[in-house]
Structure 1
Amino acid sequence: MSQYTAQKPKKCQIRHFRSGDRDQLIRLHDTVFGHNWGHDWFEWKFENNPYVDHVPVIVATRDDQIVGCRAFFALEMRVGATTRIGLQPCDTMVHPDHRRQGLFSRMNELALEYYADRRPDFFFNFPNEHSKRGNLKHGWKVVGTVPMYYRLHDPVALAEKRVESDRSKELVHAYSDLQRAASAIADEFTSPPSLSERWSLDTDLEGVRIERYETPPCSLLASIERESAGIHANRSPEFYRWRLANPEHDYVTYMAKRDGDALAAVVVSCVDDCVRLIELVPREFSARENEIDRLVRTVISEYSNRSYFTAFGIGVPNPVRNRFFPDTRVPLSLFVKSTARTLLARDIGDATVVEDSSPAEWGLTRLDLDTT
């Protein structure tokens, strides 16, 4: 029993996951988040995770009923020339009837105590504002902000879904209908000549063939990735096989090849009317920038009937930067509530691994996030 639990007995008990907890956790997830992820999702995310030998979940119970959860998404992370295990806190939830009772802190403290002398080397995550305060209280440090990049095909769809700021509402109400408001947004996205010129560049590459895969070619993806700078999940075949087996999403891979050799790839996943660019390899983008440019153009063309595209990450390649807008800057920041995420990190034990890092030292894509 943890020291924390012994010193502060409460009606709600804090303990580790047990084999019979899964059904209750799934029901709690549905209550808190409004979506029942199902048994396949739980098995994939926590029970079949290849990087830990246990289910990394802490629960709070009252009268044998689970009322809170602090879970962790384990990844093998590449930090410089070494690999380390990182834990990404995720799916943190407390039943509405049991909030403001300190359960988040108690679950957090048991996790910190448990992992203090075990393999994981650090925590990193992108918490919402409520969890962010709790994380900072328990030693997490702010690393920086990671933007979301957007490319709009149909501004109406994004306006309907994401108009949030006061400035946005003023603009929308100033027009008689949403279509006219969307036209104003579209006007804001007029590219300067230099950007338009880049878009029209002929990036056809001699002998390069673009292939589409409905089933992720995991070994080929791993073969493209080279040892690269930036803290990120280690792109091994095992990583891709497990990570792209998420039962909640379908993934399509576009790969540039020459003479049968894989040169670069983009992995996409569609959610409603949005196309997410969740992975671009190689991560040393400059080595294959022309190939990545061709792949991005292919994806945009093939999904031209979708309303918008998104890409996520600190170091996105120029082919994305030249065609997408970050939600942290004008013009997009005027119209939509930013989905940029604040990256927090905390070392486990005495070694300093990530707490003193800067955003430039990370190389995350959406595939490094637990929610994709």
Structure 2
Amino acid sequence: MSVNGDVHTFLEDTGEYTIRWYEPRDRAAFIDLYQLAFASRGEEWFTWKYEQNPYAERVPIIVAEKDGEIGAVRPFIPLSLRVADTAVPVIQLADLVVHPDHRRQGLMTTLSRWLKTTCWDDYASTFTYATQAARDGVLKMQNERWTDHDLGTFVKYERLNNVAAFVGNDHSLSVRLGATLATPAYRLKHRLGDRLVSTDPRIRVVRHESVPVSLLASLYETGVPETAHVLRDEAFYNWRFAEPGREFVTYVAMRDALPVAAIVVGTDHITGSPSTAQLVEVLPLTGGDALDPVFSALLSHITRDYAAVDHLCATGGALSKAVFSAHGFTATDSFPLSKLVAPAYLLVCPLGGSADSSAVTEGLTRESGWNTTYCDRLLG
């Protein structure tokens, strides 16, 4: 990571901000600011996400300071991306926060520009999952040196067990009533559908109350996608699944006494939000028709074990649409889920670290050319 120009200042009509790298004295201010914008997170979470990242040389956070007060933070997550048979360092943008008292000062643009300039030579690209508003803001920040590419939406699949959990008092009475009536209908539909799913008797599913890191790393190597994706190895998995405050359970499919596929399910407990079970990792990443019966056996166990949660969510890629449909999952870009779930856009910006490889640059910017899962999405 570049250390040139560690401190940079710019002048606005409202005063002068210092843009610099995070320092240990900023920890409490960062956590307070994060909790103001997002959710309650503590010291253990901060240590895991930013200090223990195996790809970071320093805590990967940029701050904007004015008169001794932190007005904004621009964290990022260094990762290793596999693209065009090459492993390259990239950064995932995450957790941007501007304090309400410091908004409308151009800090989002300035922090992003400073980051891309400072990290230009050291990383192949940035990438992020953005809301519609954030997407529009990022795409306005193009300049002659770097350009962001919108690679489309991050399509999710949902199995709703409790529709009413997604409807609040801000919805109309008719919507609330409809959700209440829909919930038992959804549960009945799932029960009937689950009974109709046939399973291969040769497949045995084993549930692990933890994450068998070495096994996951081996399964990853059995089906490595040609498209760009976060590289999986034991170092990545050891760090990724050490996330505090989240519980992980692993389901492994065995055929002829050999592991052939696995799904890691993650849950957390956020008061006031629908309870969620996320299919965080699905291996092998490449999937394929031959694995449909194997993944179906895994989903049969998972949907049964998590029948009490409000919803289960997953991403495409390894799991086919046919398998999703058989187990009651619906794409969030289809009605009626499109009315409940806002889309997320994958934005990628090549940096100077990819300039010496046209194959890498092409792989980074190819539309629908990324293999994206919750394993990296939930880091953001």
Cα distance change on mapping 1:199 and 1:326 into 2, 3 Å: farther
1:260-314 alpha-carbon deviations (Å, 9 max, x no partner): 4211111111234221111110112114221111001110111222222111245
Q: What 5-or-longer segments of structure 2 have no aligned partner?
A: 142-146, 270-274
Cα distance change on mapping 1:339 and 1:148 into 2, 3 Å: farther
126-135 vs 16-25, which moves further: 126-135
CA distance in 1, matches of 2:284, 2:365: 26
Residues paired across the two proteins, number: 353
Indicate conservation of the 8 Å contact 1:267/1:280, yes or no: yes
Percent of matched pairs sharing the same residue: 29
Matched letter for residue 356 of structure 1: T
Indicate conservation of the 8 Å contact 2:295/2:319, yes or no: no
Matched letter for residue 77 of structure 2: F
Cα distance change on mapping 1:182 and 1:198 into 2, 3 Å: closer
Matched letter for residue 37 of structure 2: V
CA distance in 1, matches of 2:201, 2:208: 20
Report how far residue 133 of structure 1 moved.
2.9
1:192-229 alpha-carbon deviations (Å, 9 max, x no partner): xxxx88972422232x3211111210000111112223
Report how far residue 179 of structure 1 moved.
2.4
Indicate conservation of the 8 Å contact 1:212/1:255, yes or no: yes
Report how far residue 250 of structure 1 moved.
1.0
* Structure 2 counterparts to residues 279-298 of structure 1, below 5 A: 279-286=281-288, 287-298=290-301
Matched letter for residue 42 of structure 1: F
Q: What 5-or-longer segments of structure 1 have no aligned partner?
A: none
Query: What secondary structure is seen at the aligned counterpart in 2 of 1:12?
Result: strand
2:63 is the counterpart of 1:54? no
Cα distance change on mapping 1:197 and 1:283 into 2, 3 Å: same
85-94 vs 48-57, which moves further: 48-57
Report how far residue 231 of structure 1 moved.
1.6
CA distance in 2, matches of 1:7, 1:91: 22
Normalising by structure 2, we get a TM-score of: 0.84
Report how far residue 25 of structure 1 moved.
0.6
Normalising by structure 1, we get a TM-score of: 0.86
1:80 pairs with one of 75, 80, 84 = 84
Indicate conservation of the 8 Å contact 1:157/1:307, yes or no: yes
Residue 357 of structure 1 corresponds to: 366
Cα distance change on mapping 1:27 and 1:115 into 2, 3 Å: same
Indicate conservation of the 8 Å contact 1:315/1:364, yes or no: no
Residue 94 of structure 1 corresponds to: 98
Residue 109 of structure 2 corresponds to: 105
CA distance in 2, matches of 1:203, 1:42: 42
CA distance in 1, matches of 2:378, 2:89: 15
Cα distance change on mapping 1:6 and 1:354 into 2, 3 Å: farther
Query: What secondary structure is seen at the aligned counterpart in 2 of 1:251?
Result: strand
Report how far residue 112 of structure 1 moved.
1.0
* Structure 2 counterparts to residues 142-157 of structure 1, below 5 A: 142-157=150-165
RMSD over equivalenced CA pairs, Å: 2.8
